[in-house]
Amino acid sequence: MDEWLKHSTEVEASWVTADLTIFTVREGQLMVLLVERGVEPFLGRPALPGGYIQKDETLREGALRELWEEAGIDGRRLHLEQLGAYGEPRRDPRGRVVTIAYLALGPDLPAPVGGTDAERAYWAPVAQLQSDAQALAFDHAEILSDALEEVRTKLEYTAVATAFCGDSFTLSELRKVYEVIWGQVLDPSNFRRKVLNTPGFVQPTGEQRLPPTGRPAALYRRGTAWLLSPPLLRGGQQS
């Protein structure tokens, strides 16, 4: 590979990893999947799941493989999108490691199983992590923060909220996703009106679901639209 280096000896090979920020809504909270590191550096510290990209896989394939290896989660049914690359020269004490951060979203996911490196995988409430962000390994606190901001924004102008719901869901469940992630209560009636008036956001299945108490709720599945127009803005809704 050395013959490519023409102008500078300052170029060197890097290791490329994929790290995943996996969000789900559980018990009325936004949760993120963390692993307890089983190897140095940051041994024993919580971290986002991730690992090295292999020779013949795409970045996305690598992210999916790490998700499976480290937490036993099949990511093919999750919403998975790239967040961005993080490559500060000293973000990893071992050398130059550039990580490609992925954002994954899913409905209330199964409890993760331990990974191959004897890591322990578990769901952690995001709200609680914000206070002591120092706990996370590498620059994972920054990645998590960016991921959260990304999700909050995307809720407004895409149908990404449906990724947190199952195949069919009630409007209350969908609203709960917005409320948990935005951290604000939304008016049920206005929320319903907006969602139903946004073409392609959701479509009724015709089925119903019985809540623990109260009137049955109609079920919906996600519609064909990804971009919402008009968007669902979190503005000054008070109550």
Kindly list the residues in this chain that would bind DNA in the complex (CB under 7 A): 170-172, 187-190, 192-194, 197, 208, 210-218, 230, 233, 235-239
> From a copy of itself, DNA, none, which one binds at residue 116 (CB under 5 to 8 Å depending on kind)?
a copy of itself
By CB under 8 A, name the binding residues for a copy of itself: 1, 4-8, 10-16, 39, 52-59, 82, 84-85, 87-89, 94-96, 98, 100, 116-117, 156-157, 229-231, 233, 235
Query: Looking at this protein, which amino acid is placed at residue 60?
Result: R
Residue 173 CB, shortest distance to a copy of itself, in Å, is 26
Residue 232 CB, shortest distance to DNA, in Å, is 8
Eight-class DSSP state of 220:
E
> From a copy of itself, DNA, none, which one binds at residue 141 (CB under 5 to 8 Å depending on kind)?
none
Eight-class DSSP state of 162:
G
Contact status, residue 164 vs residue 25, Cβ threshold 8 Å: yes
Residue 164 CB, shortest distance to a copy of itself, in Å, is 22
Residue 219, both tokens: 């079920």
Residue 105 CB, shortest distance to DNA, in Å, is 22
Contact status, residue 233 vs residue 153, Cβ threshold 8 Å: no
3-state secondary structure of 79: strand
Q: Which of 177, 200, 6 is nearest to 107 (CA)?
A: 177
Query: Looking at this protein, which amino acid is placed at residue 62?
Result: G
Task: Work out the widest C-alpha separation in the chain, in whole angstroms.
Answer: 72
Nearer to DNA, 76 or 215 (CB): 215
Q: Report the alpha-carbon angle 118-98-68, nearest 5.
A: 35
Contact status, residue 32 vs residue 23, Cβ threshold 8 Å: yes
> From a copy of itself, DNA, none, which one binds at residue 11 (CB under 5 to 8 Å depending on kind)?
a copy of itself
Nearer to a copy of itself, 50 or 107 (CB): 50
Residue 159 CB, shortest distance to a copy of itself, in Å, is 15
> From DNA, a copy of itself, none, which one binds at residue 12 (CB under 5 to 8 Å depending on kind)?
a copy of itself
Q: Report the alpha-carbon angle 235-167-26, nearest 5.
A: 60
> From DNA, a copy of itself, none, which one binds at residue 224 (CB under 5 to 8 Å depending on kind)?
none
